[in-house]
Structure 1
Amino acid sequence: MAADDGAALTIREVLAPDTIFANGNILTVDDRFSVANAVAVRDGRFMAVGTTKDVLPLAGPRTNIVDLEGRTVLPGLIDTHAHVERAGLEKCTVRLNDVRSVREALGRIAEYAATLRKGEWIRGGQWHPVAQLAEGRFLTRKELDSVCPDNPVSLPIGHFTLVNSHALALAGITKNTLDPAGGTIHRDELTGEPSGILEEAAEDLVQSLLPGWSDQQRDEQLLSAMRLFNKFGLTSAISAAVGPETFRAHQRVRMSGRASLRISAMFAPTGSLNPDVTIDEWEAFFSKIGVASDFGDSWLSLSGVKLQIDGGMTLRTAAMRDGYPGDPLYKGTIVIEPTRFNALVTIANRYGWRVGVHAVGDAAIDRVLDAYQLADGERSIKGRRFVIIHGSLMRRDQMERAKRLDVRVDAQTTFLWDKAGAVAGFLGKATADRAFPMRTMIDVMGLDAVGQGTDYPINSLNPFVNMYVMVTRRDKDGILYGASERITREEAIRLYTSAASRYSFSEKQIGSIETGKYADMIVISDNIMRIPDDLIKDIQVLRTIVEGQIVHEGTDHSRLGDA
């Protein structure tokens, strides 16, 4: 029966696509890296992928036809390591990620303090004073006291938190306070008084005092964060360290139907990457929780449990096989006793949980591989995709060992964009040159065993800046670091799409533009395969589509002739 009388729909109309995107340069990122011209989307999935000539006839009278006008399309991008919830904190924290001097930072904090009542906490967003300030150092407690004596201050950096005297007093931290296990209260060398720098587990002494967010605040923060990720073409993310309260917020957002970013969470059961529970309590938790890794759906799932073994190479705390230049006895920081660490990994594995461990230095990576091998002896980890998170200074012998254990690495080459100088300053230029050795990783382990993320907000969320660094090995000042570790543009794209999807065992659902997969894709301003290397970092996202729905539309600033 015809549909023109409104009484019924024809079979063709029932089966017709909701939308057809035509006349594009569509990089499908399938096994052959095929290029298509058009895709048809129906019920949130790709119904057809091919030429405009072949796909357009599928249209029904209600099909929306979108002319891409030759624009380049990629699958939705996947960040395999980002602290998603922190992207929603901008309105609740003092913004310091763009300050360039101690004076400017203190001025920004003073301005923010003026908007608060006496006694309210000043919380900081993520920043990196050593890398971004002209002085190349942390702020001192006395400097913070000078601009906000009446408000406690907590400024996280990543492995460190800077605090003022008010915050130290509230936490009861004095010169007589002992360092907590896995942490350090930095002190004045002359007086022994706390300096206002708290490292690793010591951060919790102050951060545990911060007032919690309401459910509504958490939900709105997550929604804001998702919109920011969508702006950069991200349709999925591995959220790097999700505590129980944040996971509950993700669940509320998912159940409300408002999510615009697929989340697979690396779970931190106690909220800490070095869990403050006994081994018996750790086992009791996993034996009773009743779920394991990869439980969930296409919008929200549990990817594994997250732990930490060392610090960071940009803060002189990465655990190294060899001593640091100028200080051969110092080899970085191991934040957890090895026997305890091995037990945490083994127990999680025993109950079906995949493990991902923050490991930056080569000595730290050795310890993680040791723990994984020990766990494998009890219950095989093969095919389970256990993760080395960062793997920043991984060596070839470790890559070969990881391959034998079937362990993947999820790296963040974008650290080199604005922090390579800090790495070179702490560890030497030769070590900075071998940081994030993506060429070697791909050659030894295989591209599907590797992924890329940003560790946002420690680094820029922009995936095209990250791809630029992977392809050129140049930082923001044009300095070259390790030319032999350059990779191709196709490989860089795959690390954000088809390879990245494997982290959460989602490769049959997302990561490429193929019939039957979810219609996650982005339209970008320029042809990433043709423009000069230097312009990759400037690519803009014109449209982000998740499950067939537009979740972001940007402004076209493309260069004529490059599309």
Structure 2
Amino acid sequence: MFGKLKALSVLGVGVYLASATYAAAQQADLNSPDLVLINAKILTMDASSSVAEATAIRDGKILAVGTSASIKALIGTQTRVFDVGGKTVVPGLIDTHAHFKAAGMAEYVVNMSRAKTVAEALDAIRTFAGKKKPGEWIIGGAWHPPSQLAEKRYLTRQEIDSVAPSNPVYLRTVGHFSMANSMALQSAGVDKSTANPGGGSFERDAAGELTGVLVETAIDRVEKAVPPWSDEDEIQQFKLAESVLNGFGITSAVEGATEARDIRTLQKIALAKEATLRVGLMFRPEPPAEMAAWEAIMSGNGASSGFGDDWLKFAGIKIFYDGGMTLKTALMRDVYPDSHDDYHGIAQQTPERLKQLISICNRYNWRVGVHVVGDLGIDQVLDAFEAADKEKSIRDRRFILIHASLIRPEQMERAHKLGVRIDFQNVFMWDKAATVERFLGRAVADRALPTKTLIDKMGLDNLGAGTDFPVNPINPLLNMYIMVTRKDPNGNVYGASEAISREQALRLYTSAAARYTFEEAKKGTLEPGKLADLVVLSADYMTVPEDQIKDIKASITVVGGKVVFQR
């Protein structure tokens, strides 16, 4: 009997020890990383520009950064391990200005980006029309005919009619101009007797007939006639778009002009835990005629800038002011070189109305970002910001000059005093520098996007880089290449003195970019406690020959500790 008890006792001790070991192992696994990257060159982009070999991730955040040996010691039985073989790892890239839904539209719209001549553009429409039933709308993806087509012009409605006679056709461009065929104009109730709206026009030929080209505010008339996508289509378009951006190493983006429906769609995706891109929303309500109506929109349900979470939040209110350099609508101090009258560009509203709009936004704690390109336009937007600041300080609110492509040094100083940030897009000059030169002269093309001067005058942390996709390519490494080299595709250099270093360019996409949405304590660098958003690059960004920067690709993209893209 005693022998049996002794055996049972020994057995019990064994069971206890096994259980204790299992519990300890379980506890160790609970504390172990979900994912580690080892044998890497990690550019943390912290304040010291530290470089590490490995990182550990748990619960969507950076657990540790250090040597491969120190990180290996943390690995548990459930840890996923990536040995990246010495590749460079950088924080997740942040595009501070994009209209990224366009990246998910390939199956829904005509791709006009490859057309190099009027004939090729019309052929693209003809091919797409062949897949449509009579009466179904045909929508075009963003493109830029004046710089893209050999003929340097927009398509006419008669040309579009010739290849799609049975369908309404509406062709968006990179902004400020659109084209429509006869059926589309008819659907919108526009004919040759229709008056031009304030701040825009329905272009006409010498005989007074509509050409089908819509300028600025005239676009809205036809845009509203285009039938909306279904909810299912919208969700799919945004999900596809997020995955496309992930493929370029982009983990966060500021949506540059968001409509209410887009916000609802993005919220559905985030609530379903299907988001792979963190989004800051620049809400763009159409300013109504009456300021009381604008105030009702701003007071809304009490929300204001910053409302949201790590996946989706309001970044501010977007207001348009002038046009663009290649559209000859940027509001300039100097008269346009080829102008036959006193033409300085186009403002979409008066300076007094702009002040009222911004004042009301400020009153309800909405941060404002204004689309402005020309130097005269920047003068007037800064006037409006200064007026708002006198009513209620904006100095810690990071109001934004969006684009500010032709900003001058004294304007940078004015902006800096107000705590205003500038978010620009060097990649605009990739395929449009020659057009800027043609319309505004070489001196203006050289001073466009004065990146080094902006850093010198305002400090890098008050700036951010984006693409304005689909106006320009979404590729962040192409954008960084242009910041570093100032070259166009033909190797022509514009404004060589405004080139910046590789690290500065990368910071404009990471540590500085995170400040757009006041999230510098959460993302933009690879440090313990921050969101685990990172990219493994195909080549060493810091050491490859300069001309190869643009060819670097994302090999692995991680958002919130999850691999969302792997090449």
Quick check: TM above 0.5?
Answer: yes
Instruction: Kindly provide the CA deviation profile for residues 473-519 of structure 1, in whole angstroms up to 9, marking residues without a partner as x.
Output: 00011111000000000000000000000000011111010000011
* Matching residue of 1:201: 217
Counterpart of 2:337 (choices 310, 325, 328) is 325
Instruction: Kindly provide the CA deviation profile for residues 342-380 of structure 1, in whole angstroms up to 9, marking residues without a partner as x.
Output: 111000000000000000111111111011001111110
| 1:422-437 pair list within 5 angstroms | 422-437=435-450
Instruction: Kindly provide the CA deviation profile for residues 79-122 of structure 1, in whole angstroms up to 9, marking residues without a partner as x.
Output: 00000222221111000101111111101101111111111111
Distance of 1:71 and 1:243 partners within structure 2: 40
Higher mean alpha-carbon deviation, 11-20 vs 373-382, is at 11-20
Q: In structure 1, the residue corresponding to 2:94 is in which secondary structure?
A: strand
The amino acid across from 1:182 in the alignment is: G
* Matching residue of 2:3: none
Instruction: Kindly provide the CA deviation profile for residues 60-97 of structure 1, in whole angstroms up to 9, marking residues without a partner as x.
Output: 23222211100000100000000022222111100010
Q: What TM-score, normalized to structure 1?
A: 0.96
Distance of 1:442 and 1:384 partners within structure 2: 19
* Matching residue of 1:509: 522
Kindly indicate whether residue 39 of structure 2 is the aligned counterpart of residue 27 of structure 1.
no
Counterpart of 2:322 (choices 299, 306, 310) is 310
Higher mean alpha-carbon deviation, 162-171 vs 376-385, is at 162-171
Counterpart of 1:369 (choices 382, 396, 404) is 382
Distance of 2:19 and 2:364 partners within structure 1: 55
Distance of 2:272 and 2:415 partners within structure 1: 40
The amino acid across from 1:224 in the alignment is: L
Distance of 1:3 and 1:268 partners within structure 2: 60
Instruction: Kindly provide the CA deviation profile for residues 25-71 of structure 1, in whole angstroms up to 9, marking residues without a partner as x.
Output: 01001111111000011111100001112221122232222111000
Note if contact 1:243-1:268 (Cα within 8 Å) is conserved in structure 2: yes
Note if contact 1:267-1:302 (Cα within 8 Å) is conserved in structure 2: yes
Counterpart of 1:267 (choices 259, 265, 283) is 283
| 1:92-241 pair list within 5 angstroms | 92-157=108-173, 158-188=175-205, 190-241=206-257
The verdict on how the C-alpha distance between 1:426 and 1:16 changes in structure 2, with shifts beyond 3 A counting, is same
Instruction: Kindly provide the CA deviation profile for residues 390-426 of structure 1, in whole angstroms up to 9, marking residues without a partner as x.
Output: 0100000100000011100000000011110111111
* Matching residue of 1:473: 486
Identity %, equivalent residues: 49
Distance of 2:20 and 2:262 partners within structure 1: 50
Aligned residue-pair number: 549
Distance of 1:18 and 1:150 partners within structure 2: 56
Q: In structure 1, the residue corresponding to 2:386 is in which secondary structure?
A: helix
Counterpart of 2:98 (choices 82, 107, 124) is 82
Note if contact 1:383-1:406 (Cα within 8 Å) is conserved in structure 2: yes
Q: What TM-score, normalized to structure 2?
A: 0.95
Instruction: Kindly provide the CA deviation profile for residues 428-470 of structure 1, in whole angstroms up to 9, marking residues without a partner as x.
Output: 1110101100000000000000000000011100001100000
Q: In structure 2, the residue corresponding to 1:282 is in which secondary structure?
A: helix
* Matching residue of 1:441: 454
* Matching residue of 1:561: none
Note if contact 2:288-2:294 (Cα within 8 Å) is conserved in structure 1: no
Note if contact 2:322-2:371 (Cα within 8 Å) is conserved in structure 1: yes
Counterpart of 2:269 (choices 232, 241, 253) is 253
Q: How far apart are 1:287 and its partner, in Å?
A: 2.1
* Matching residue of 1:292: 304
Q: In structure 2, the residue corresponding to 1:418 is in which secondary structure?
A: coil
Note if contact 2:338-2:439 (Cα within 8 Å) is conserved in structure 1: no
* Matching residue of 1:384: 397
Task: Point out where structure 1 has 5 or more consecutive residues left out of the alignment.
Answer: 555-563
Q: How far apart are 1:5 and its partner, in Å?
A: 7.2
Bigger-Rg structure (1/2)? 2
Distance of 1:506 and 1:76 partners within structure 2: 13
Note if contact 1:93-1:124 (Cα within 8 Å) is conserved in structure 2: yes
Q: In structure 1, the residue corresponding to 2:56 is in which secondary structure?
A: strand
Q: How far apart are 1:7 and its partner, in Å?
A: 5.8
Note if contact 1:314-1:426 (Cα within 8 Å) is conserved in structure 2: yes
* Matching residue of 1:557: none
Note if contact 2:267-2:312 (Cα within 8 Å) is conserved in structure 1: yes
Q: In structure 2, the residue corresponding to 1:527 is in which secondary structure?
A: coil
Distance of 2:207 and 2:376 partners within structure 1: 34
* Matching residue of 2:32: 16
Counterpart of 1:460 (choices 464, 473, 490) is 473
| 1:326-365 pair list within 5 angstroms | 326-327=338-339, 329-365=342-378
The amino acid across from 1:67 in the alignment is: D
Distance of 1:388 and 1:309 partners within structure 2: 11
Q: How far apart are 1:3 and its partner, in Å?
A: 6.8
The amino acid across from 2:242 in the alignment is: M
Higher mean alpha-carbon deviation, 53-62 vs 507-516, is at 53-62
Q: In structure 1, the residue corresponding to 2:107 is in which secondary structure?
A: helix
Higher mean alpha-carbon deviation, 51-60 vs 18-27, is at 51-60
Note if contact 2:142-2:471 (Cα within 8 Å) is conserved in structure 1: yes
Counterpart of 1:57 (choices 69, 73, 93) is 73
Distance of 2:19 and 2:75 partners within structure 1: 15
Distance of 1:43 and 1:288 partners within structure 2: 35
* Matching residue of 2:87: 71
The verdict on how the C-alpha distance between 1:278 and 1:69 changes in structure 2, with shifts beyond 3 A counting, is same
Q: How far apart are 1:180 and its partner, in Å?
A: 1.1
Q: How far apart are 1:13 and its partner, in Å?
A: 2.6
Q: How far apart are 1:2 and its partner, in Å?
A: 5.9
